[in-house]
């Protein structure tokens, strides 16, 4: 619900009232969910409350162009002489303003103003499904896995054939957004997203994605950026990595510890008891030392005491009905811990 999120966002932003910067917020659009069987709107009328609360949905981040324009902020910022916006996914903790890219935009080497930059990064096994850039009819286009015929999916996932993936860190010309929005010329494919509501009703949501519009802008660019600018936190497994001593905060930016000497981060797989953030936090008295970890798999009812150290490959499996408590100060290096608390060397 966009209104609930707006209220929650404003509460958090109050913490930053003392900062010397202005933070603006605006709501995105609401669209009507469609009953999958009847293909009619779920809503009985246009109210947003009562039984209609579930009838509306936010149509994903492709809506930023229309909502930004309709909010009035687009015209305000253009009037103040601002030229570009930097857009990133909220879960990408590596996204921040990069003055090198901004400098490239304001002083393009070929003299042609660039209206849209997509930051891409080298693909790893963790993001083989990520969208990639192609050139078609003289324009850059984003190709997503959903658009690829089944026979070519493995080819698309190939790290050697398609070496880059989209980070969704985007730099977009404000003047271009205004021009294209007024001409109704922002071209984005519709994503049909089927959902089942809590009551069991199957509905369809029609959504769009912000990055797909790259083909509507002039002189678009892809810029290959370091992996440090792409740090999506979508699961508690990702959260464990960024809360660990692999990362630190430096002037408000998340930076990799200098003690970590490898090109990619450890592989972490936490099981379903860790899925919700409050459950995940309850299961760690403190976040383990992970500076020498390669791989961690945790399955079942497991808790970690304070000051645990994980090294090499660690697999912890509590069988159904069993619980495993890793004791405070434990050092697990290349260990399998099984349901009856046997600790085995690998």
Please say whether the beta carbons of 339 and 318 come within 8 A: yes
Query: What would the two tokens of residue 166 be?
Result: 């989209």
- Helical axes 64-71 vs 174-182, angle rounded to 10°: 90
Phi, psi (rounded to 5 degrees) for 280: -55, -50
Residues 6+ apart with CB under 8 A from 310: 288, 289, 290, 292, 293, 296, 332, 333
Q: How far apart are CA 298 and CA 279, in angstroms?
A: 14
Query: What would the two tokens of residue 26 be?
Result: 């605006």
Measured in whole angstroms, how far is the alpha carbon of residue 313 from the centre of its chain? Answer: 27
Q: Give the closest residue to 229 by CA, choosing from 127, 93, 125.
A: 93
What angle is formed at CA 223 by the lines to CA 218 and CA 225, rounded to 5 degrees?
155
Q: How far apart are CA 49 and CA 315, in angstroms?
A: 47
Q: Residue 150 catalytic?
A: no
Which of 10, 195, 234, 276 is catalytic? The answer is 234
Residues 6+ apart with CB under 8 A from 270: 235, 236, 237, 240, 280, 296, 298
Question: How many other C-beta atoms lie within 10 A of the C-beta of residue 339?
Answer: 17
Q: How far apart are CA 224 and CA 226, in angstroms?
A: 7
Measured in whole angstroms, how far is the alpha carbon of residue 74 from the centre of its chain? Answer: 24
Q: Which residues belong to the active site?
A: 234
């Amino acid at each position: 619900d966009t209104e609930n999120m707006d209220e929650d966002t404003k509460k958090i932003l109050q913490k930053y009232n003392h900062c010397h910067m202005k933070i603006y917020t605006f709501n995105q659009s609401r669209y009507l969910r469609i009953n999958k069987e009847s293909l009619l709107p779920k809503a009985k009328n246009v109210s947003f409350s009562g039984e209609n609360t579930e009838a509306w949905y936010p149509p994903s981040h492709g809506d930023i162009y229309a909502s930004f324009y309709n909010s009035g902020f687009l015209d305000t910022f253009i009037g103040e002489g601002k030229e570009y916006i930097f857009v990133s996914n909220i879960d990408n903790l590596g996204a921040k303003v990069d003055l090198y890219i901004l400098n490239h935009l304001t002083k393009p080497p070929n003299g042609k103003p660039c209206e849209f930059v997509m930051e891409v990064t080298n693909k790893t096994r963790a993001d083989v499904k990520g969208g990639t850039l192609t050139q078609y009819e003289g324009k850059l286009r984003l190709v997503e896995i959903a658009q690829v015929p089944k026979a070519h999916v493995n080819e698309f996932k190939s790290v050697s054939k398609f070496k880059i993936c989209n980070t969704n860190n985007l730099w977009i010309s404000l003047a271009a957004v205004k021009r294209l929005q007024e001409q109704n010329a922002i071209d984005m494919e519709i994503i049909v997203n089927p959902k089942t509501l809590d009551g069991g009703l199957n509905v369809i949501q029609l959504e769009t994605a912000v990055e797909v519009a790259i083909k509507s802008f002039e002189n678009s660019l892809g810029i290959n950026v370091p992996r440090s600018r792409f740090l999506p936190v979508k699961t508690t497994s990702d959260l464990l990595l960024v809360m660990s001593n692999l990362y630190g905060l430096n002037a408000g930016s998340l930076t990799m510890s200098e003690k970590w000497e490898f090109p990619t981060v450890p592989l972490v797989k936490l099981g379903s008891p860790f899925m919700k953030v409050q459950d995940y936090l309850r299961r760690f008295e403190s976040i383990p030392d992970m500076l020498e970890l390669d791989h961690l798999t945790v399955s079942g009812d497991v808790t970690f005491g304070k000051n645990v150290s994980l090294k090499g490959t660690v697999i912890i499996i509590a069988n159904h009905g069993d619980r495993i408590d890793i004791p405070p100060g434990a050092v697990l290096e290349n260990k399998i811990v099984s349901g009856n608390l046997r600790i085995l060397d690998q």
